[in-house]
Amino acid sequence: MQDSGRPYLLMPSGSYRLTMQQRPRRNRSTAAIRAMARETDLGVHNLILPLFVQEGEGESTPIASMPGQARLSIDLMVKHCEAVAEAGVPGIALFPALPDDQKDTHGTHSTDPSNVNLRAVRAIKAAVPELLVITDVALDPYSSDGHDGVVVDGNIVNDESVEILAAMAVAQAEAGTDVVAPSDMMDGRIGAIRDALDAAGHEHVLINSYCAKYASAFYGPFREALDSEPRGGDKKTYQMDPANRREALRELRLDELEGADWVMVKPGMPYLDVIRDFRDNTTLPVTAYQVSGEFAMLKAAGANGWIDYDACLLESLTSFRRAGADLIFTYAALEAAALLQG
C-alpha cells in the first residue's frame, strides 16, 4: 500500500472519506481475534511466591504494609505450601525472620542446620516435594548490622562476605533447597557459590542470581517484614545505582561466566528496560521480582478504590512477560493464579 501520509480524501463538500487499507483495529475486533493476535501470555507456571518464615507454632504475623501477607511459623508455612502447590504455583522463595538474639556481625546462624530457614526447607520439601524451593543467600536476616555482607569499620567487606555466602548456600543445599538465590550483590559470589556447591556434591542445585539488583526504595515493606533495615548507612556500595543500565549488562556477563542458571532483575516494574536488555543479551532464563513496594502500591491504590486491583495486577505481570521475563517473583502469585484460572 502506498502511504501518502494522509489516509483520507478531502471531499469537495469539506467532509473526509477514509481511504486507508491498514486498519490495526481489525486485529482487536473480537475476544477470539485478540487472543490469536496476542504476543505474550501469562500463566501460573510463570509465577513464584515469596514467603516469610518465623519461629513458633501456629504463629501468623500479618505484615501491615503488605496486605494479605504474613510471617508464618513452620507448621503453618507447610500447610500454606500445600495450598500453593494445589493452586498450580510451581515454586516459592523463602525468607526468614530471625529474633534479634540470633543475629550477629557475621550472620553465624545462617549455616546452623537448626535455624528457622533450614528447618522450614526440610519441612516443606518433606511435605510438598514437587514444590520448587528457592532460598535466599544474603547476610541481612542474620546480621546484627542488617547488611547483606559483613561490616568492618563501616565498610561492607566483599571477599570475607563471599566466603560466608558460599557456606550458607551449601547449608541450604544440604537442607534440600532446589535453587539458591544470592541477593547480596557482592562481587564474585556466583562463582564462589558454584564452586562450593559442586565441591560438596550439590552440582544439581541451581543458582538464581540477583544479577541486576538496584539500591531501591521499593524494598521498604520487605525490610519491615523481616526487621532487616540496615542499622547504619545504606546499601549503595553494593546494590546498583537506579540510574544505570549498561552496568547491568556487565553484571550479566560476569554472572554468566561464573555459572548462574537464572539471572534476575530487581525491582521489576520500574526496571522493565533492564529486563528487556537481559532478554536480548542472554540465552538464560530471565527472572524478575515484583518487590514489596510495588505490591504495596497496587494494594493501597486498590483498597482506596483508585484502581481496579485485579486488572492492574494482571496488567503489571503481563508487562514483565512482555519485557522478557520468564519467571516472576510476586507476592500476588496466589491471587494471580486464581484470576488466571477463573
Query: Does the annotation mark 299 as catalytic?
Result: no
Is residue 145 close enough to count as binding ligand PBG by CB under 6 A?
no
Listed in sequence order, the residues at least 6 apart from 239 whose beta carbon sits closer than 8 Å to its beta carbon are 185, 213, 214, 215, 216
Q: Is 127 or 215 the residue whose CB approaches ligand PBG more closely? A: 215
* 184 φ/ψ angles, rounded to the nearest 5 degrees: -90, -25
Contact between 316 and ligand PBG by CB under 6 A: the answer reads no
Q: Convert 70-109 to b/e letters by CB count within 10 Å (16 or more is b).
A: bbbbbebbbebbeebbebbbbbbbbbbbbeeebbeebbeb
Q: Does 125 qualify as catalytic in the annotation?
A: no
Q: Which positions from 89 to 128 touch ligand PBG by CB under 6 A, shown as an x/- string?
A: ----------------------------------------
Binding of residue 138 to ligand PBG (CB under 6 A): yes
C-beta of residue 299 within 8 angstroms of C-beta of residue 313: no
Backbone torsions φ then ψ of 265, nearest 5 degrees: -115, 135
Total number of residues that touch ligand PBG (CB under 6 A)? 11
Does 262 help bind ligand PBG (rule: CB under 6 A)? no
Per DSSP, the residues of 284-317 read SPEEEEE-HHHHHHHHHHHHTTSS-HHHHHHHHH
Q: Is 212 left (phi over 0), alpha (psi -120 to 50) or beta?
A: beta
Q: Is 142 in the site for ligand PBG (CB under 6 A)?
A: no
The mark string for 193-222 relative to ligand PBG (x by CB under 6 A, - otherwise) is --------------------------x--x
Cell numbers found for residue 331: 507476592
**Closer to ligand PBG at the Cβ: 140 or 145?**
140
Alpha-carbon gap, residue 323 to 68, rounded angstroms: 27
Q: Which is nearer to ligand PBG, 87 or 94 (CB)?
A: 94
* One character per residue 222-261, x = contact with ligand PBG (rule: CB under 6 A): xx-----------x--------------------------
136 vs 256, which CB is nearer to ligand PBG? 136
Name the minimum Å distance from CB 231 to ligand PBG. 12
Does 292 participate in binding ligand PBG (rule CB under 6 A)? yes
Cβ nearer to ligand PBG, comparing 292 with 316:
292
Name the active-site residue from 103, 213, 235, 299: 213
Is 136 one of the binding residues for ligand PBG (CB under 6 A)? yes
Angle at 321 between CA 317 and CA 324, to 5 degrees: 145
Maximum CA extent, the chain: 86
Amino acid at 266: K
Closer to ligand PBG at the Cβ: 64 or 126? 64
CA angle in degrees (0–180, nearest 5) for 218-221-227: 125
CB of 139 to ligand PBG, least distance (A): 8
Residues labelled catalytic: 213, 266
Return residues touching ligand PBG (CB under 6 A). Answer: 136, 138, 140, 148, 183, 219, 222-223, 235, 291-292
